[in-house]
Amino acid sequence: MVDKNFVVGPNTFNGIMDFLIKFYCFEKAWTLFQESKGRVKLDVYSFGILIKGCCEAGDLGKSFELLDQIEELGLAPNVVIYTTLIDGCCKNGDLEQAKLLFAKMEELGLVPNEYTYTVLINGLFKRGLENDGLELYEKMQRKGVIPSLYTYNSVLKEYCSEGKVGKAFEMFDEMRERGVACNVVTYNILIGGLCREKRLREAEKLVDQMKRTGLSPNLITYNSLIDGFCNVGKLEKARYLFGQLKTKGQSPSLVTYNILISAFSRAKDSTTIAKLVKEMEERGIRPSKVTYTIVIDAFIRSENTEKAFELYLFMQKAGLGPDVYTYGVLIHGLCIKGNMKDAWKLFTSMDEMQLKPNDVIYNTMVHGYCKQGSSYRALRLLQEMKEKRLVPNVASYNSTIGVLCKDGKWQEAEALVTEMVESGFKPTVSIYNLISEIKNNT
């Protein structure tokens, strides 16, 4: 239209731009915007639409270019534009820039609305800055800005994830006093918090309360409850909820199956695991790395190392490269069997897969070599951990000191005790006595 010199008004142009952004045609929208300069009268809304598109596309550089252009044209950026930019910065991990934009709004006399506050509060929480997020929430209330349901849910989620379920319920009461209509998300956050604290009876009561308000439990509700009952070993109750979920017409997700497979793996119930995997496949749900790792762990727990490695190879053929956790499970299985030769091969092969062994894997290997009586290899791995800034656990220190003492290497054992103390661990009296005995007998 612009190329054929048709006169396009701002409203029509903005409608086209909005359509392109909504249907993820950001590049087309950007090109149209650039070609329309000087031909179409652009207003602050035109810029706002494209800034939103830039933020959604993760191109913050272009967003700030547009903000500069707004000011050059003598237009005044509004609250929506600043809120969009703050949200974009938070989602792209640039929290400092988000805070600067928030401060600039106040300098310009723009009053942040409940959405402005909420996106920044949420951004602070996601970066682990709980106190900063809560301070901003308090400031919001002091300024007379009424929190939205989204604001409340963000703060509730933070309280529950930090284990402050009591605080979360105080806020829940406040919401109801203020007449805020809670949604399924609100209840799911609280139910999840209770389940993590193993307060399952209260979680079930809250589900009943939720139903009385006219809200139906969804898949997330069921997953939280199933996970909660699995974690306390009530597998029959978890199985019942799983059946109820399907009876209510809901489809279990990959997460649902992983929760159950993990629980039955801990219970060494290979029959149920096989049934769950089969049902997953029948429903068209492709097992993930997590699923494979859980089932591999089940075989290891059942001392069926051969089956575990068969699945490990099948997993790779299926195009799912094993991760650190998969290697950790397999190495643990080999170390339990005393097969340190294959454990070492698997350990060193991680480098080829561009994976770095974590402290759990190192400690497993150390313990395996100590069981084998190889103080040299155990000590070498402890040294490697130190170089990689990984901290050995107490069991690794104690096992290695024990093996060193058996080999009569009391000087190396003493050096390890010193290192242990420096790492913040307190050696037992029996460790000191063991070293003293070896020294006296040498």
268: which 2 tokens? 């060494």
Q: Give the integer Cα–Cα distance in Å for 253 and 172.
A: 29
Q: How far is CA 143 from CA 70, 114, 152, in A?
A: 28, 11, 16
pLDDT for the residue 4: 52
Confidence of residue 123 (pLDDT cuts 50, 70, 90): very high
What burial class does residue 194 get, using C-beta atoms within 10 Å of its C-beta: 0-12 exposed, 13-18 middle, 19+ buried? buried
159: which 2 tokens? 């309280």
117: which 2 tokens? 């506050």
pLDDT for the residue 1: 47
DSSP code at position 392: P
pLDDT higher than threshold 90 for residue 2: no
Please, are residues 289 and 315 in contact by the beta-carbon 8 Å criterion?
yes
Please, are residues 55 and 88 in contact by the beta-carbon 8 Å criterion?
yes
DSSP code at position 269: -
When pLDDT is averaged across residues 173-200 and rounded to a whole number, the result is 96
Q: Give the integer Cα–Cα distance in Å for 419 and 399.
A: 14
Q: Give the integer Cα–Cα distance in Å for 323 and 356.
A: 10
pLDDT higher than threshold 60 for residue 109: yes
- The percent of residues above 90 in pLDDT, for the chain, comes to 79
Q: Count how many Cα atoms sit within 13 Å of the Cα of residue 430 in the half-sphere of its side chain.
A: 3
Q: Give the integer Cα–Cα distance in Å for 270 and 296.
A: 11
pLDDT for the residue 391: 87
Please, are residues 171 and 140 in contact by the beta-carbon 8 Å criterion?
no
Residues linked to residue 40 through DSSP beta bridges, in sequence order? 37
Q: Which of 339, 337, 397, 393 is nearest to 361 (CA)?
A: 393
323: which 2 tokens? 């991760």
77: which 2 tokens? 């950026």
- Structure confidence by residue, pLDDT tens digits, 207-245: 999 999 999 999 999 999 999 999 999 999 999 999 999
169: which 2 tokens? 């319920």
DSSP code at position 40: B
pLDDT for the residue 5: 55
SS3 track for 76-93? CCCHHHHHHHHHHHHHCC
Q: Give the integer Cα–Cα distance in Å for 430 and 95.
A: 51
Cα end-to-end span (Å), the chain: 95
Residues linked to residue 384 through DSSP beta bridges, in sequence order? none
Please, are residues 426 and 417 in contact by the beta-carbon 8 Å criterion?
no
- Structure confidence by residue, pLDDT tens digits, 142-183: 999 999 999 999 999 999 999 999 999 999 999 999 999 999
215: which 2 tokens? 């809200």
When pLDDT is averaged across residues 398-418 and rounded to a whole number, the result is 92
391: which 2 tokens? 């901290």
Confidence of residue 270 (pLDDT cuts 50, 70, 90): confident
Q: Give the integer Cα–Cα distance in Å for 39 and 374.
A: 79
Interhelix angle 79-91/60-72, rounded to 10 degrees, is 160
- Structure confidence by residue, pLDDT tens digits, 5-23: 555 678 898 999 999 999 8
Instruction: Give me the phi and psi of 193, to 5 degrees please.
Output: -60, -45
Please, are residues 52 and 21 in contact by the beta-carbon 8 Å criterion?
yes
Q: Give the integer Cα–Cα distance in Å for 335 and 337.
A: 5
Residues linked to residue 37 through DSSP beta bridges, in sequence order? 40
Q: Count how many Cα atoms sit within 13 Å of the Cα of residue 260 in the half-sphere of its side chain.
A: 25
Average model confidence (pLDDT) across the chain? 93
Please, are residues 130 and 138 in contact by the beta-carbon 8 Å criterion?
no
- Structure confidence by residue, pLDDT tens digits, 272-323: 998 999 999 999 999 999 999 999 998 898 888 898 999 999 998 888 889 9
pLDDT for the residue 99: 95
- Structure confidence by residue, pLDDT tens digits, 52-71: 999 999 999 999 999 999 98
DSSP code at position 177: H
CB neighbourhood size of 263 (10 A): 23
Please, are residues 173 and 166 in contact by the beta-carbon 8 Å criterion?
no
When pLDDT is averaged across residues 89-102 and rounded to a whole number, the result is 94
Residue spans of beta strands (DSSP E) within 307-379: none
pLDDT higher than threshold 70 for residue 424: yes
